Amino acid sequence: MNTGAGITAPGQAVLGIAGWSGSGKTTLITRLIPVLVGRGLRVSTVKHAHHRFDIDTPGKDTWRHREAGATEVLVASDRRVALMRELRDETEPGLDALLQRLAPVDLVLVEGYKSGNHPKIEVHRAATGKPPLYPDDPTVLAVVSDAVTSATAGRPVFALDAIEAIADFAAAQVAARVRS
């Protein structure tokens, strides 16, 4: 089974949470992070958006800087740092390039990028009406679902609310990265 070794993040494990829109990816991630952090892991996330988004407020200084033409705007305080980059006519960076920008942590959870070549947990809900990814995607290492209707080819299957078991699986991916 392909483990997505082509995607790299120095010193950290990468695990995607993939699935169709409405499958519960964000819900799973927001429930999984506190459990993993409670176990002493440092966790970061990367979220892919298929639409225009903005994290800045129109009229604020940083927004005005971007609107004036700045390529990057960095805002910092004693609580957080945020770097915004306007791509303008540049191509969207790939996941590998984005991972290289992150500070080192134990695990990076990636939401979206379902076609990427990185190890993933698929979240599948029958109600989406979409087919599961795992039969055709060797990078899907496990499935979280309300109804698995076909063989998962030896992949572990977790119920949607089995957060501790899913955290065990994710922590094992971190341990495997440390051993390799």
CATH number of the domain bearing residue 117: 3.40.50.300
Residue 175 has a pLDDT of 87
Domain assignment of residue 68, yes or no: no
* pLDDT bracket for residue 135 (50, 70, 90): confident
- Number of structural domains found in the chain: 1
Average pLDDT rounded to a whole number, residues 156-176:
94
Report DSSP state, residue 38: H
Which amino acid, one-letter code, is at 154? G
pLDDT at 151: 64
Residue numbers of the domain that contains 123 = 13-53+92-179
Q: Residue 10: its pLDDT value, please?
A: 58
Residue 148 lies in a domain: yes
**H or E element at residue 72:** strand 72-76
What is the spatial distance between Cα 20 and Cα 129, in angstroms, rounded to a whole number?
9
Percentage with pLDDT > 70 across the chain: 90
The model carries a pTM of 0.86
H-helix segments, the chain: 25-38, 61-68, 95-101, 163-179
**6 lies in a domain?**
no
Query: Considering the domain boundaries, does residue 145 fall inside one?
Result: yes
Q: Does 84 map to a domain?
A: no
Q: Phi, psi (5° rounding) for residue 65? A: -60, -45
Q: Is residue 174 situated within a structural domain?
A: yes
Question: What is the pLDDT at residue 148?
Answer: 65
